[in-house]
Structure 1
Protein backbone atom coordinates (compact mmCIF):
# COMPACT_ATOMS: atom_id res chain seq x y z
CA UNK A 1 0.00 0.00 0.00
CA UNK A 2 1.23 3.48 -0.81
CA UNK A 3 -0.05 6.87 0.32
CA UNK A 4 0.52 9.90 -1.89
CA UNK A 5 -0.55 13.55 -1.42
CA UNK A 6 -2.02 14.94 -4.65
CA UNK A 7 -4.10 17.71 -6.17
CA UNK A 8 -7.40 15.88 -6.61
CA UNK A 9 -8.89 18.82 -8.50
CA UNK A 10 -6.30 21.18 -9.97
CA UNK A 11 -7.63 24.77 -10.08
CA UNK A 12 -10.31 24.97 -12.75
CA UNK A 13 -13.59 26.71 -13.54
CA UNK A 14 -16.76 25.30 -12.02
CA UNK A 15 -19.19 24.58 -14.88
CA UNK A 16 -22.75 25.94 -14.90
CA UNK A 17 -24.03 22.42 -15.61
CA UNK A 18 -23.36 19.69 -13.05
CA UNK A 19 -20.20 17.79 -13.98
CA UNK A 20 -17.80 15.35 -12.35
CA UNK A 21 -14.47 17.08 -11.67
CA UNK A 22 -12.66 14.13 -10.06
CA UNK A 23 -13.26 10.39 -10.09
CA UNK A 24 -11.26 8.03 -7.87
CA UNK A 25 -9.47 5.55 -10.13
CA UNK A 26 -9.68 1.77 -9.83
CA UNK A 27 -7.55 0.36 -7.03
CA UNK A 28 -7.34 3.71 -5.22
CA UNK A 29 -9.13 5.27 -2.26
CA UNK A 30 -8.98 9.08 -2.12
CA UNK A 31 -9.40 11.26 0.98
CA UNK A 32 -10.31 14.92 0.56
CA UNK A 33 -8.13 17.14 2.78
CA UNK A 34 -8.98 20.56 1.33
CA UNK A 35 -11.54 21.99 -1.06
CA UNK A 36 -11.80 25.68 -1.90
CA UNK A 37 -13.97 27.70 -4.25
CA UNK A 38 -13.08 31.23 -5.35
CA UNK A 39 -15.44 33.75 -6.93
CA UNK A 40 -13.48 35.49 -9.67
CA UNK A 41 -16.58 37.26 -10.97
CA UNK A 42 -18.26 40.53 -10.05
CA UNK A 43 -21.53 39.25 -8.53
CA UNK A 44 -22.40 36.69 -5.83
CA UNK A 45 -22.60 33.15 -7.25
CA UNK A 46 -23.81 29.92 -5.63
CA UNK A 47 -22.03 26.57 -5.82
CA UNK A 48 -23.38 23.09 -5.19
CA UNK A 49 -21.04 20.16 -4.52
CA UNK A 50 -21.81 16.45 -4.70
CA UNK A 51 -20.02 13.28 -3.59
CA UNK A 52 -21.37 10.77 -6.08
CA UNK A 53 -21.09 7.02 -5.44
CA UNK A 54 -19.69 4.84 -8.21
CA UNK A 55 -22.32 4.32 -10.90
CA UNK A 56 -24.56 7.04 -9.45
CA UNK A 57 -25.57 10.49 -10.64
CA UNK A 58 -25.27 13.85 -8.91
CA UNK A 59 -28.49 14.88 -7.22
CA UNK A 60 -30.10 15.96 -3.94
CA UNK A 61 -29.38 12.59 -2.28
CA UNK A 62 -25.61 13.07 -2.56
CA UNK A 63 -25.27 16.86 -2.31
CA UNK A 64 -22.83 17.77 0.45
CA UNK A 65 -22.92 21.54 -0.10
CA UNK A 66 -26.09 23.00 -1.57
CA UNK A 67 -26.38 26.54 -2.93
CA UNK A 68 -23.46 28.05 -0.99
CA UNK A 69 -23.25 31.69 -2.05
CA UNK A 70 -19.75 33.05 -2.58
CA UNK A 71 -19.25 36.80 -2.79
CA UNK A 72 -17.11 38.47 -5.49
CA UNK A 73 -13.43 38.17 -4.62
CA UNK A 74 -14.18 35.70 -1.81
CA UNK A 75 -12.53 32.31 -1.38
CA UNK A 76 -14.67 29.81 0.51
CA UNK A 77 -13.08 26.72 2.06
CA UNK A 78 -15.74 24.07 2.39
CA UNK A 79 -15.87 22.17 5.68
CA UNK A 80 -18.43 19.71 4.31
CA UNK A 81 -16.18 17.53 2.17
CA UNK A 82 -13.04 17.52 4.35
CA UNK A 83 -12.15 14.05 5.58
CA UNK A 84 -14.59 12.33 3.21
CA UNK A 85 -13.30 9.19 1.54
CA UNK A 86 -13.96 8.30 -2.08
CA UNK A 87 -13.93 4.62 -2.99
CA UNK A 88 -12.85 3.57 -6.51
CA UNK A 89 -15.31 5.05 -9.02
CA UNK A 90 -16.76 7.61 -6.59
CA UNK A 91 -16.69 11.20 -7.87
CA UNK A 92 -16.70 14.85 -6.80
CA UNK A 93 -19.16 16.82 -8.94
CA UNK A 94 -19.95 20.53 -8.90
CA UNK A 95 -22.26 23.13 -10.39
CA UNK A 96 -21.95 26.93 -10.38
CA UNK A 97 -24.86 29.34 -10.58
CA UNK A 98 -23.05 31.16 -13.42
CA UNK A 99 -20.47 29.96 -15.93
CA UNK A 100 -16.94 31.33 -15.59
CA UNK A 101 -17.48 32.93 -12.19
CA UNK A 102 -16.08 30.29 -9.83
CA UNK A 103 -12.79 28.42 -9.61
CA UNK A 104 -12.41 25.22 -7.57
CA UNK A 105 -9.43 23.26 -6.31
CA UNK A 106 -9.07 20.30 -3.95
CA UNK A 107 -6.20 18.34 -2.46
CA UNK A 108 -5.96 15.09 -0.62
CA UNK A 109 -4.36 11.71 -0.26
CA UNK A 110 -4.48 8.72 -2.58
CA UNK A 111 -4.13 5.30 -0.97
CA UNK A 112 -3.30 2.52 -3.40
CA UNK A 113 -5.08 -0.71 -2.50
CA UNK A 114 -3.00 -3.86 -2.64
Structure 2
Protein backbone atom coordinates (compact mmCIF):
# COMPACT_ATOMS: atom_id res chain seq x y z
CA UNK A 1 0.00 0.00 0.00
CA UNK A 2 1.25 3.48 -0.85
CA UNK A 3 -0.07 6.90 0.15
CA UNK A 4 0.57 9.98 -2.01
CA UNK A 5 -0.55 13.60 -1.57
CA UNK A 6 -1.85 14.90 -4.92
CA UNK A 7 -3.88 17.60 -6.61
CA UNK A 8 -7.14 15.78 -7.21
CA UNK A 9 -8.45 18.70 -9.26
CA UNK A 10 -5.78 21.08 -10.58
CA UNK A 11 -7.15 24.64 -10.82
CA UNK A 12 -9.67 24.79 -13.65
CA UNK A 13 -12.92 26.45 -14.63
CA UNK A 14 -16.15 25.05 -13.24
CA UNK A 15 -18.39 24.24 -16.22
CA UNK A 16 -21.92 25.59 -16.55
CA UNK A 17 -23.18 22.04 -17.07
CA UNK A 18 -22.77 19.19 -14.61
CA UNK A 19 -19.41 17.49 -15.27
CA UNK A 20 -17.08 15.06 -13.51
CA UNK A 21 -13.83 16.84 -12.62
CA UNK A 22 -12.14 13.91 -10.86
CA UNK A 23 -12.77 10.17 -10.86
CA UNK A 24 -10.88 7.85 -8.52
CA UNK A 25 -8.97 5.32 -10.64
CA UNK A 26 -9.19 1.55 -10.25
CA UNK A 27 -7.21 0.25 -7.30
CA UNK A 28 -7.11 3.67 -5.59
CA UNK A 29 -9.03 5.22 -2.72
CA UNK A 30 -8.93 9.04 -2.62
CA UNK A 31 -9.47 11.26 0.42
CA UNK A 32 -10.38 14.91 -0.12
CA UNK A 33 -8.29 17.19 2.10
CA UNK A 34 -9.08 20.58 0.53
CA UNK A 35 -11.52 21.98 -1.99
CA UNK A 36 -11.71 25.66 -2.92
CA UNK A 37 -13.77 27.67 -5.38
CA UNK A 38 -12.79 31.16 -6.59
CA UNK A 39 -15.05 33.65 -8.33
CA UNK A 40 -12.98 35.23 -11.10
CA UNK A 41 -16.01 36.94 -12.63
CA UNK A 42 -17.63 40.32 -12.01
CA UNK A 43 -20.93 39.11 -10.52
CA UNK A 44 -21.90 36.59 -7.83
CA UNK A 45 -22.04 32.98 -9.05
CA UNK A 46 -22.99 29.74 -7.36
CA UNK A 47 -21.53 26.27 -7.38
CA UNK A 48 -23.10 22.88 -6.74
CA UNK A 49 -20.86 19.94 -5.86
CA UNK A 50 -21.65 16.24 -5.91
CA UNK A 51 -19.78 13.17 -4.67
CA UNK A 52 -21.08 10.51 -7.02
CA UNK A 53 -20.60 6.80 -6.32
CA UNK A 54 -19.45 4.63 -9.21
CA UNK A 55 -22.40 3.78 -11.46
CA UNK A 56 -24.60 6.60 -10.12
CA UNK A 57 -25.42 10.04 -11.48
CA UNK A 58 -25.22 13.54 -10.03
CA UNK A 59 -28.50 14.57 -8.46
CA UNK A 60 -30.12 15.59 -5.19
CA UNK A 61 -29.12 12.32 -3.49
CA UNK A 62 -25.41 12.87 -4.23
CA UNK A 63 -25.19 16.67 -3.67
CA UNK A 64 -22.83 17.70 -0.88
CA UNK A 65 -22.91 21.45 -1.56
CA UNK A 66 -25.95 22.96 -3.25
CA UNK A 67 -26.04 26.45 -4.75
CA UNK A 68 -23.20 27.95 -2.69
CA UNK A 69 -22.85 31.60 -3.71
CA UNK A 70 -19.32 32.92 -4.20
CA UNK A 71 -18.94 36.69 -4.51
CA UNK A 72 -16.66 38.32 -7.12
CA UNK A 73 -13.04 38.12 -6.00
CA UNK A 74 -13.92 35.74 -3.18
CA UNK A 75 -12.47 32.30 -2.51
CA UNK A 76 -14.72 29.84 -0.72
CA UNK A 77 -13.18 26.79 0.97
CA UNK A 78 -15.80 24.08 1.26
CA UNK A 79 -16.10 22.27 4.58
CA UNK A 80 -18.62 19.80 3.15
CA UNK A 81 -16.30 17.54 1.16
CA UNK A 82 -13.26 17.59 3.48
CA UNK A 83 -12.43 14.13 4.82
CA UNK A 84 -14.77 12.36 2.41
CA UNK A 85 -13.41 9.20 0.81
CA UNK A 86 -13.89 8.22 -2.82
CA UNK A 87 -13.80 4.55 -3.70
CA UNK A 88 -12.52 3.45 -7.14
CA UNK A 89 -14.86 4.87 -9.80
CA UNK A 90 -16.42 7.50 -7.50
CA UNK A 91 -16.34 11.06 -8.83
CA UNK A 92 -16.27 14.71 -7.80
CA UNK A 93 -18.82 16.44 -10.02
CA UNK A 94 -19.43 20.20 -10.20
CA UNK A 95 -21.65 22.77 -11.90
CA UNK A 96 -21.49 26.57 -11.87
CA UNK A 97 -24.43 28.91 -12.33
CA UNK A 98 -22.37 30.84 -14.90
CA UNK A 99 -19.79 29.19 -17.13
CA UNK A 100 -16.32 30.74 -16.80
CA UNK A 101 -17.10 32.64 -13.57
CA UNK A 102 -15.66 30.13 -11.12
CA UNK A 103 -12.47 28.12 -10.78
CA UNK A 104 -12.04 25.07 -8.57
CA UNK A 105 -9.12 23.15 -7.13
CA UNK A 106 -8.92 20.22 -4.73
CA UNK A 107 -6.16 18.28 -3.04
CA UNK A 108 -6.01 15.06 -1.15
CA UNK A 109 -4.40 11.70 -0.60
CA UNK A 110 -4.39 8.68 -2.88
CA UNK A 111 -4.13 5.30 -1.21
CA UNK A 112 -3.25 2.40 -3.49
CA UNK A 113 -5.09 -0.75 -2.47
CA UNK A 114 -4.05 -4.25 -3.37
TM-score bracket, shorter-length normalisation = over 0.9
Deviation, 1:58, is 0.4
Aligned length: 114
CA distance in 2 between partners of 1:19 and 1:99 (Å): 12
Alignment-derived partner of residue 34 in structure 1: 34
- 1:88-107 superposed matches below 5 A: 88-107=88-107
Question: What is the root-mean-square deviation in Å for CA atoms of aligned residues?
Answer: 0.2
1:39-76 superposed Cα distances (whole Å, 9 cap, x missing partner) = 00000000000000001110000000000000000000
- 1:73-112 superposed matches below 5 A: 73-112=73-112
Alignment-derived partner of residue 65 in structure 1: 65
Give the TM-score of the pair, scaled to structure 1.
1.00
CA distance in 1 between partners of 2:55 and 2:11 (Å): 25
Deviation, 1:30, is 0.0
CA distance in 1 between partners of 2:48 and 2:96 (Å): 7
Deviation, 1:106, is 0.1
CA distance in 2 between partners of 1:99 and 1:28 (Å): 31
Matched, 1:8 2:8: yes
1:18-49 superposed Cα distances (whole Å, 9 cap, x missing partner) = 00000000000000000000000000000000
CA distance in 2 between partners of 1:13 and 1:37 (Å): 9
Structure 2, gaps ≥5 residues long: none
Alignment-derived partner of residue 50 in structure 2: 50
